[in-house]
Structure 1
Amino acid sequence: MSIPIPLTAALLACCGLVAATPAQASDPGAGGIADRARVDFAASAATTAPLQAPGAADSADAHSRARSLQTRFERRRVRDLPRTLGGGSHPCDAIIGRLCIWDDGNEDWEPREEPESIRDWRLELLTELASLARAAPGDHWIFGQRIRYSVEAGLLAEAEALARGCGLPVRWRCDAFLGYVQHHQEDFVGAESAFARALSAMPADTAGSWADPHPLLDGELRDWLEAQPDSAAAARRLWTLADPLYLADGNERWSAHLSRRVYAMSSDGAMSPHQLRWGKDMTEAVVRYGWPIAWERSWPRAGQSTIQVTGRDPPASARTLPPRDVLDGGPDSMDAVVWEVPDGHAQSVYLPTYVDTIGSLDGQTGRFWRRDGVILIGVATLPDPPAGIPHPEPNPPPAALPLAPVEAGLFVETEGVARTLGRAVAETGDVVRLSGMAPLADRGVVSLEAWAPGHRRAHRIRLGIGLRRLPPDLLAISDLVLLEPGAEPADLEPMLDVVRASTHVAADEDLTVAFEVYGLGFRAEGIGFSAWVERRNEGALSRFGRWLRVRGPREEVSIRWEESGPERPQPLFRTLRLGLPGLDPGEYQVVLEVSVAGRAPLVGRRAFTVW
């Protein structure tokens, strides 16, 4: 099972395909750096009324000066950026206007420390902008630069104070800037609240553009969205599912999207580190991929007088929107479809700031129908931290290992609402067993998650699932669930305590499987069961060889039996055991077929790995 594959997206400014920045760019006013150890934010908050209202000429002069200073800073930045070889040598995975975007696949890349000179110049810019804000207190562009560069400098408390004291005449901009700051403070609930106020107050066409997920969608998801009878409800569902971790409060993917919109708004007409004026292409790139966390400047090649500037995203940024088949289901919309990420360049990516990676969680989920809902279970072993991650406390005693607490949760999304079914706190290596009742719905998504904040690591399993009500006499089957060796629970309740916490099985183990059958007990009828193990993802040559009967049967091991149905309507709980003698390591699945005379046979499957 896999979830977002780590991606690295880089931006290369281009003019046509490649943009050239003069290696010796002019630097107006690049003289000595003034003493600027502290930026005076309070003295020029936009709400502070000057003794005499500034005239239009003063405001215009301040605005013009602010633009010149912002341009000067970005030219200075480029001059001292860390150098790298081979900038611009990559083929473009996507071209957006003047920008070339590629995935370099380097998961080990780490940003180099920003030069002190750039940090000093940024503080100097902030000081000068604060002074200019007194002459133009209602200038949203100057205000936006102050917010944007304060956040870039890590001055989040100062940026929050500035945003809360915002006195811009267009109030929704104040809420938008506050949401931007709160998102970077990882107060995602507060950010959502601020953005909700901004969206409700801004012009309808602006709100519609900001909330529109279309720029983030590949062709299949666009087709899905446009085919929905209620596009607004469908868009809300996409945003709910894009939330990378329900364990974290708030929907950080939604607030990140709106933060990207605020970043683009504040950058309108500004000079970028690419030495290009902000335009629609940069807005699209920021909305899809975010703004880079680090910048690099390539050395000019022999005979060239130009440089190229590359911006880098977090290496593990990944797709967060669901594949279409998770939304639609398989040929039978009741099927469970694992949320997997296709290979290739992503239309959009994101990584929460509170984790370095989100990996795949090895565990099991299962559905068991009841009259008023569907019982969902989730069982997994909490992953150990990667080698090399230090303990959060110096010189921890041996009893302190495993390293840190891990939060776990089982969630279900239906109709755009994510519900918590169970939560737990444990340690790495522990087994968590969670369950809860999900509401009936056509389709939903179940998410089993683990998050170790101290290790900055998270893992999850997500599946698209059918949750429709079953007619009482409809022959149906639950998910198959793998149990611990030798387990023989009598019914569903004790089964949860013996569900296997991993889908990895040793070659010499017995495979124990539990399931329920529904729609029985309304009449006397016999039931036939057939179960077998087969390889998954068998190649075309192997299938052709079996068809010619020059290779062995696909079934590795099998079992069959018959019995009478229950005397009254009720779920029929059963377990079966299959030996796995001599199976080679690889990917397999156990298949169960249930047959009743006069009814279409049922087939259930559960994948597992032999190691």
Structure 2
Amino acid sequence: MHATSALGAQDTANAAAERHRRAARKAEAEYESLARRLAPATFGSGGGECDEIVGRFCLRFDTGEPRPVPPEAPRVVEARRNAVETLRRAFAAVPGDLRIAGSLVRYLVEDGRPEEAVAAAEAFAWATSDSTWKELLVAFGMHARGDDSAAERRFAEGIARLPPEEARRLERVDVLLAAEERRFYRGLDEEGQRQYERELWVAADPLYLTPGNEARAEHFARHVWARLLSQAPVVYGMVPWGKDLDELTLRYGVPVGRERDVSSWTLDVRMIEHFDPDQLAYVPERLRTRGLGEAPLPGEPSPLENPRARSGYAPLTFRRLLPFAHQVTRFPAGDSVVLRVDGALALDSVALEGGAGRTAATALFVLDSAYVHVTERRERAASVRDTFFVSFETTLPPGRFVYSLEALEDETRLAGRARYEVTLEAPGPGELALSDILIAHPYRDAELPRTRDAPGLAPRALLIVQPTDTLGLYAEVSGLADGGDGATRYRVEVSIRRTGESGISRAVRWVGRTLGLVGPDTPPRVSWTGAGVAGGVEPLAVDLDLAGLKPGLYVVQLAVEDLVTGQRRESQKAIRIARPDA
């Protein structure tokens, strides 16, 4: 009799759990259906050529100003919240059911309630015997609330419990890479692939200033998204889950808006789904075949803003990331090189709403060619009017490095970043050593700087200038030979030419010095001779007036000849002269 009662009670509990499951499934289907039926209608937006075909889907990139993401209809929001409450009741009845717990966590994240999502995931972790998904679901919720350090740890714990083949599926990065890079990656053995993945995620980390690696955590979170979305009820206007949706989810995440294309003459519903327009291309899709590359020429876009990037992501740990305007200058120092980076980050309209006096964490990070951090410099910065100005120096051995100049404003979480490759070369014994040209604000009548830290040396971070500007130039030369009397003698030539044109565009006009042209029948150059003390570093500083130059990209070139030995070295830097109305 008691056994019969126990079985009867179990049957009743099972029946109640099944009713909750059916109710949850119905509420989910209602939400999924309304999200498509009530999507804003558009006529003809789905036409035109595909930029890329991914399985059943036509992918088009927004190369102009992105269209505003259509907002959700109030009934859609209401249906999702109703689904959440229905799933909560089902979850209370069967807290160890992954399909119910996963849907609940997913809808809470979609509804902008990440704290509740983490709480639900932790309750599932307590109730379930699934040692893998209890970690993955909690990590998914933590990532949604921006706690990426903790999320990475939980993702690692969950992936470690997967069968090796399934774990490798989550860890692999094939889908994020360009075709030629993908072939290179697949040609590596497993150890080589793992090393590649480590380097890729270090390079892809949006900011080294923030804890955790948001991009890597997002990659694993997108695998969880794909699993949860694959279990969603299929409704009218929706296609069954497949490998193509897996790929799109891993590359761009989940859509943030959708529209119904009503221009088709057929009765089929064609949905247009929009990915987050604020995504940036953090994952380098050609890390080995091209590398991160050196900094773009003045006026060229940042690779982060590539509208046709293979993948994209918009982290939650900062509000917006802007390219950090900066200038890199290399100064030989014996058998080492001083790397100097001067930057300027202008505040956007949101950061300016609170008035002046913003503060930020800023840093220069340097990594070696294997993407191992070798040094960093950090400092607090206060805005001057509407801009953060920073200047960092660090001494490094010769070699190929990656630098990352970063800033994160405290209150509104505006971020700036410049991350590129740089090659440092030191002269050999007895060789003449010439630094890069440092482009600065003009010296005019002030004393010319004798050292890099002179108060009159004010570097420009943005090398886009106006045709009415005057530039200050600064460089350093060392290794000049002793002329026998303890003194060195040298000649300096400075020229400016427009790229793509032969010769020099014009004779440059100097402020603060009287300089003569080398000759009337040669491309215009200016030169002067100087003398210094043997064994020292000789500073070279002068103003350059740009008046009369047409808009375009120019190269400023500085050459030094040792008049004792005849050795000659050249250095150059690109500037862009903007149109007057730009």
Q: TM-score, normalised by structure 2?
A: 0.78
Per-residue CA deviations over 1:471-493 (Å, capped at 9, x if unaligned) read: 55455543321122116221233
- 2:279 counterpart of 1:317: yes
Match of 2:338 in 1: 375
- 2:232 counterpart of 1:282: no
The answer to which of 172-181 and 321-330 deviates more is 321-330
- 2:364 counterpart of 1:402: no
Match of 2:137 in 1: 177
Q: Relative to structure 1, is the Cα distance of residues 520 and 346 closer, same or farther in structure 2, using a 3 angstrom cutoff?
A: same
Match of 1:412 in 2: 366
Q: Distance in 1 between matches of 2:411 and 2:64?
A: 24
Shift of 1:534: 1.1
The answer to which of 455-464 and 256-265 deviates more is 455-464
Shift of 1:336: 6.3
Q: Counterpart of 2:272 in structure 1: which amino acid?
A: T
- Say whether the 8 Å CA contact 2:52–2:58 is kept in structure 1: yes
Q: Distance in 2 between matches of 1:493 and 1:337?
A: 26
Q: Distance in 1 between matches of 2:80 and 2:162?
A: 31
Q: Relative to structure 1, is the Cα distance of residues 92 and 181 closer, same or farther in structure 2, using a 3 angstrom cutoff?
A: same
Shift of 1:591: 1.4
Q: Counterpart of 1:198 in structure 2: which amino acid?
A: G
- Say whether the 8 Å CA contact 2:302–2:323 is kept in structure 1: no
Q: Distance in 2 between matches of 1:225 and 1:594?
A: 45
Match of 1:422 in 2: 378
- 2:450 counterpart of 1:494: no
* CA RMSD, Structure 1 to Structure 2 (Å): 4.0
- Say whether the 8 Å CA contact 1:528–1:563 is kept in structure 2: yes
- Say whether the 8 Å CA contact 1:424–1:432 is kept in structure 2: no
- Say whether the 8 Å CA contact 1:382–1:432 is kept in structure 2: yes
Shift of 1:282: 0.7
- Say whether the 8 Å CA contact 1:381–1:502 is kept in structure 2: yes
Q: Secondary structure at 1:368's aligned position in 2?
A: strand
Query: How is 1:232-243 mapped onto 2 (pairs within 5 angstroms)?
Result: 232-243=194-205
Q: Secondary structure at 1:306's aligned position in 2?
A: coil
Q: Distance in 2 between matches of 1:149 and 1:121?
A: 11
Q: Relative to structure 1, is the Cα distance of residues 283 and 609 closer, same or farther in structure 2, using a 3 angstrom cutoff?
A: same
Counterpart of 1:482 (choices 427, 435, 439) is 439
Per-residue CA deviations over 1:260-287 (Å, capped at 9, x if unaligned) read: 1111122234346751222211110010
Q: Relative to structure 1, is the Cα distance of residues 253 and 534 closer, same or farther in structure 2, using a 3 angstrom cutoff?
A: same
Q: Secondary structure at 2:60's aligned position in 1?
A: strand
Q: Counterpart of 1:237 in structure 2: which amino acid?
A: E
Query: How is 1:353-368 mapped onto 2 (pairs within 5 angstroms)?
Result: 353=316, 357-368=320-331
- Say whether the 8 Å CA contact 2:496–2:556 is kept in structure 1: yes
Q: Relative to structure 1, is the Cα distance of residues 97 and 61 closer, same or farther in structure 2, using a 3 angstrom cutoff?
A: farther
Query: How is 1:461-476 mapped onto 2 (pairs within 5 angstroms)?
Result: 461-467=418-424, 471-473=428-430, 475-476=432-433
Match of 2:534 in 1: 567
Q: Distance in 2 between matches of 1:201 and 1:555?
A: 73
Match of 2:150 in 1: 190
Q: Relative to structure 1, is the Cα distance of residues 59 and 325 closer, same or farther in structure 2, using a 3 angstrom cutoff?
A: closer
Q: Relative to structure 1, is the Cα distance of residues 189 and 440 closer, same or farther in structure 2, using a 3 angstrom cutoff?
A: farther
Per-residue CA deviations over 1:199-221 (Å, capped at 9, x if unaligned) read: 33333333322222221111354
Match of 1:155 in 2: 113
Q: Relative to structure 1, is the Cα distance of residues 448 and 133 closer, same or farther in structure 2, using a 3 angstrom cutoff?
A: same
Q: Relative to structure 1, is the Cα distance of residues 232 and 587 closer, same or farther in structure 2, using a 3 angstrom cutoff?
A: same
Q: Relative to structure 1, is the Cα distance of residues 543 and 272 closer, same or farther in structure 2, using a 3 angstrom cutoff?
A: farther
Q: Counterpart of 2:266 in structure 1: which amino acid?
A: Q
Match of 1:448 in 2: 405
Unaligned runs of 5+ in 1: 1-50, 394-400, 547-552
Q: Counterpart of 1:133 in structure 2: which amino acid?
A: F
Q: Distance in 2 between matches of 1:199 and 1:473?
A: 56
Q: Distance in 2 between matches of 1:189 and 1:441?
A: 34
- 2:207 counterpart of 1:253: no
Match of 2:515 in 1: none
Q: Relative to structure 1, is the Cα distance of residues 260 and 99 closer, same or farther in structure 2, using a 3 angstrom cutoff?
A: same
Q: Distance in 2 between matches of 1:372 and 1:56?
A: 76
- 2:81 counterpart of 1:123: yes
- State the percentage of identical aligned residues: 26
Q: Relative to structure 1, is the Cα distance of residues 595 and 163 closer, same or farther in structure 2, using a 3 angstrom cutoff?
A: farther
Q: Distance in 2 between matches of 1:266 and 1:121?
A: 18
Q: Counterpart of 1:127 in structure 2: which amino acid?
A: E
Q: Relative to structure 1, is the Cα distance of residues 188 and 329 closer, same or farther in structure 2, using a 3 angstrom cutoff?
A: closer
Q: Relative to structure 1, is the Cα distance of residues 281 and 322 closer, same or farther in structure 2, using a 3 angstrom cutoff?
A: closer
Shift of 1:194: 2.2
Q: Counterpart of 2:253 in structure 1: which amino acid?
A: G
Q: Distance in 2 between matches of 1:280 and 1:325?
A: 25
Q: Secondary structure at 2:310's aligned position in 1?
A: coil
Q: Relative to structure 1, is the Cα distance of residues 379 and 164 closer, same or farther in structure 2, using a 3 angstrom cutoff?
A: same
Q: Distance in 2 between matches of 1:522 and 1:170?
A: 77
- Say whether the 8 Å CA contact 1:392–1:454 is kept in structure 2: no
Q: Relative to structure 1, is the Cα distance of residues 370 and 191 closer, same or farther in structure 2, using a 3 angstrom cutoff?
A: farther
Q: Distance in 1 between matches of 2:481 and 2:503?
A: 42
Shift of 1:594: 4.0
Q: Relative to structure 1, is the Cα distance of residues 186 and 304 closer, same or farther in structure 2, using a 3 angstrom cutoff?
A: same
Q: Distance in 2 between matches of 1:470 and 1:323?
A: 34
Shift of 1:64: 7.2
- 2:246 counterpart of 1:299: no
- Say whether the 8 Å CA contact 1:531–1:590 is kept in structure 2: yes
Match of 1:103 in 2: 61
Per-residue CA deviations over 1:61-81 (Å, capped at 9, x if unaligned) read: 876775565344312322222
Q: Relative to structure 1, is the Cα distance of residues 586 and 63 closer, same or farther in structure 2, using a 3 angstrom cutoff?
A: same
Q: Relative to structure 1, is the Cα distance of residues 323 and 368 closer, same or farther in structure 2, using a 3 angstrom cutoff?
A: farther
Counterpart of 1:208 (choices 168, 181, 187) is 168
Q: Distance in 1 between matches of 2:521 and 2:10?
A: 87
Q: Relative to structure 1, is the Cα distance of residues 390 and 416 closer, same or farther in structure 2, using a 3 angstrom cutoff?
A: closer
Q: Relative to structure 1, is the Cα distance of residues 370 and 323 closer, same or farther in structure 2, using a 3 angstrom cutoff?
A: farther
- 2:545 counterpart of 1:579: yes
Unaligned runs of 5+ in 2: 1-8, 506-519
Q: Secondary structure at 2:117's aligned position in 1?
A: helix
Q: Relative to structure 1, is the Cα distance of residues 225 and 576 closer, same or farther in structure 2, using a 3 angstrom cutoff?
A: farther
Shift of 1:84: 2.7
The answer to which of 582-591 and 557-566 deviates more is 557-566
The answer to which of 210-219 and 504-513 deviates more is 504-513
Q: Counterpart of 2:159 in structure 1: which amino acid?
A: L
Q: Relative to structure 1, is the Cα distance of residues 581 and 241 closer, same or farther in structure 2, using a 3 angstrom cutoff?
A: same
The answer to which of 506-515 and 174-183 deviates more is 506-515
Larger Rg computed on CA atoms: 2
Q: Secondary structure at 1:492's aligned position in 2?
A: coil
Match of 2:6 in 1: none
- Say whether the 8 Å CA contact 1:431–1:501 is kept in structure 2: no
Match of 1:33 in 2: none
Q: Relative to structure 1, is the Cα distance of residues 534 and 381 closer, same or farther in structure 2, using a 3 angstrom cutoff?
A: same
Match of 1:86 in 2: 44
Match of 1:114 in 2: 72
Q: Distance in 2 between matches of 1:530 and 1:591?
A: 8
Shift of 1:136: 4.3
- Say whether the 8 Å CA contact 2:175–2:250 is kept in structure 1: yes
Per-residue CA deviations over 1:427-477 (Å, capped at 9, x if unaligned) read: 253452321426547322223334446556444333310146665545554
The answer to which of 61-70 and 404-413 deviates more is 61-70
Shift of 1:152: 0.7
Q: Secondary structure at 2:420's aligned position in 1?
A: strand
The answer to which of 260-269 and 278-287 deviates more is 260-269
Q: Distance in 2 between matches of 1:233 and 1:280?
A: 26
